[in-house]
Structure 1
Amino acid sequence: MKYTITLPKSFTSCTIRELLESRWLVPRKVRHFLRVRKNVLLNQQTAMFHQEVHAGDEITLILQEEDYQFQAIAPGKAENVQVLYEDEHLLIVDKPAGIKTHPNQPNETATLLNDVASYLSAQDCYPHVVHRLDKETSGVILFAKNPLVLPILGRLLEQKQIYRRYQAIVHGKLLQNQTITKKIGRDRHDRRKRIIDAKGGQVAITHVEIAKVLANTTELYCVLDTGRTHQIRVHLASIQHPIVGDPLYQKIPAKRLMLHAQEMYLTHPFTQETLKITSKHALF
């Protein structure tokens, strides 16, 4: 696996050691192998870890597949993948409602990850899940195409530097924008569900903005500061405005869960380009 990256104009100079360890989050074991194998090139010349790199420099990393653990992914259907953005490192796709993000059992094949694995097989790439959407939720979802970019995307997500905006349609008339900060924990009586748990739950923050109030429902935009399981669903149900079609947190039948990941913004880890990705579909 060989990756060549040209450092962008906005890059602040540092040593190769600092670049790999602090900025690109290359694991310690892999950094060690890169150093002893002399598998880091600076402008096509073998580089030492103490050397400084600057904007415009070309960095090449030669990684060995055996230094990473890859789990086998059963092939799915490549034709199902709706690509919104793709380059050497990132793949952003439009997820349909009703399909799981990834398999929970080795023999599962009807998940988005299986389809993405088939799509990327022609490029000899292995997909890595960066975050997930519930089976019933549709919209924009991000995959890493290589193990080099995966930890960087994980850190961006953890540091709230990947902006995600959802559309939701809820029961009832919600008349005021608000930020919901109730902690979320597991439901001890139903392993599928999450509950509001002020004492033992994890911090969860959802910003809610009203788009349109209708006769019996309200169209909303939701922005996440955290990414807890079922976060938007649990938070909206906790203020007595459950999402239309939610099979777990309200019992009124509907054709689908009316929750859709509409937009994603992020700064590309290597080019520093601002990516604004919008789903080709919408709830309203």
Structure 2
Amino acid sequence: MTSFQYTTTKPGETVEQLLREQWQGGKKTVHQMRMDKSVTDTNGQPIEWKEPLPQGTPLTFSFSDAHSSYKPEAFDSLRIVWEDEHLLAVHKPAGMAVHPEQAPGTGTLMNEVMGYIESQGGSYAEHIHRLDQHTAGILLIAKHPIAKTMLDRMLEQNKIDRFYTAEVEGQLRKPRGTINMPIGKDRYHATRRRVSPSGQAATTHFRVIERRANSTVVEAQLETGRTHQIRVHFAHLGHPVIGDQLYGSETIARGPYKLTATKIAFQHPITLEQIMIETE
């Protein structure tokens, strides 16, 4: 059973207002919750959806049919960097895929996350964004369907700030800037992307944080989240990420290419707290 607790913050608030107006939960999920009478009080009694509730009323929201399909696996090496009952942030190692290409694949980050979630009595975990297989760093995960719907919408509206650290070849002339170039598929290579006038809009902000003899370390902030966006943008400028041979790096790196998702910031969709999650 997947569930979470919530205490009303406004006098006269109703369950319907919370789910449909304030949180804008998915129509299918909200309808199912109403049919299942899955919003209850502290005694487990169903709450009437249109009943005005006193401020400070504790509620339990349950999702009896919320089950993710990832096969649970041992999570001894799973590195959790932040968690509450709605969200989970984990550190993805470089070289590990976020999710299986097809069910019931194994050996991915989401398999380990599902093992952890089940050990805590849960049954649901879905990632909000992706990281390329050889990109390390923070991955944000929803622990119930309402959080997933809200965070998906926030991502589409650019309300989740994602920061990366990359070491690129050569010396960038500008100390900071914005790369605003559309990205599309490369017709000559199945997995590669390229800057293309017919591609999807893509914007990357960057600032230089260190200059080295033959490279530059930058912090990059995504405004959009296209496949391989940072890698494509800097390669197009003639400064591919070190070790990223798919995009023309001539430097052989020790281990994976030099790109890490180091920070994510957003307003929590349910508690409304300002959240900043960082990792090395």
> Is this a same-fold pair by TM over 0.5?
yes
TM-score, normalised by the number of residues in structure 1: 0.88
Of 67, 73, 76, the match for 1:79 = 76
| Amino acid across the alignment from 1:170 | V
| Separation (CA, whole Å) in 2 of partners of 1:232 and 1:13 | 47
Gaps in structure 2 of 5+ consecutive residues? none
* Distance in 2 between residues matched to 1:157 and 1:7, nearest whole Å: 25
Cα gap change, 1:63/1:116 in structure 2, threshold over 3 Å: closer, same or farther?
closer
Identify the range of structure 1 (18-27 vs 45-54) with the bigger mean alpha-carbon deviation.
45-54
- Contact 1:7-1:270 at 8 Å conserved across structures: no
In the alignment of these two chains, the number of paired residues is 274
In 1: Cα distance, 2:31 partner to 2:104 partner: 36
Structure 1 letter corresponding to 2:99 = H
Alignment correspondent of 1:154: 152
Question: Does structure 2 conserve the Cα–Cα contact (< 8 Å) formed by 1:7 and 1:271?
Answer: no
- Counterpart for residue 30 of structure 1: 29
| TM-score normalised over the length of structure 2 | 0.89
User: What's the secondary structure of 2:94's corresponding residue?
Assistant: coil
What is aligned with 2:4? 3
Deviation per residue, 1:77-127 (Å, 9 max, x gap): 301210101121211011111111111033532211111112222113232
The equivalent residue for 2:272 is 272
- By how many angstroms is 1:134 displaced? 0.5
Partner residue of 1:238 out of 230, 236, 239: 236
State the 1:172 CA deviation: 0.6
Q: How far is 1:53 from its partner?
A: 5.2
Equivalent residues of 2:240, 2:249 under 8 A apart? no
Q: CA shift at 1:182, angstroms?
A: 0.3
Structure 1 counterpart of 2:222: 224
Structure 2 CA distance for aligned equivalents of residues 146 and 134 of structure 1: 24
Matched letter for residue 209 of structure 1: R
Corresponding residue SS for 1:92: strand
User: How many Å apart are 1:206 and its aligned residue?
Assistant: 0.3
Counterpart position of 1:120 = 117
Answer with 242-251 or 17-26: which moved more.
Answer: 17-26
Counterpart contact for 1:43–1:57, Cα < 8 Å: no
What amino acid does structure 1 have at the position aligned with 2:228?
A: H
Unaligned runs of 5+ in 1: none
Residue 149 of structure 1: how far off its partner (Å): 1.2
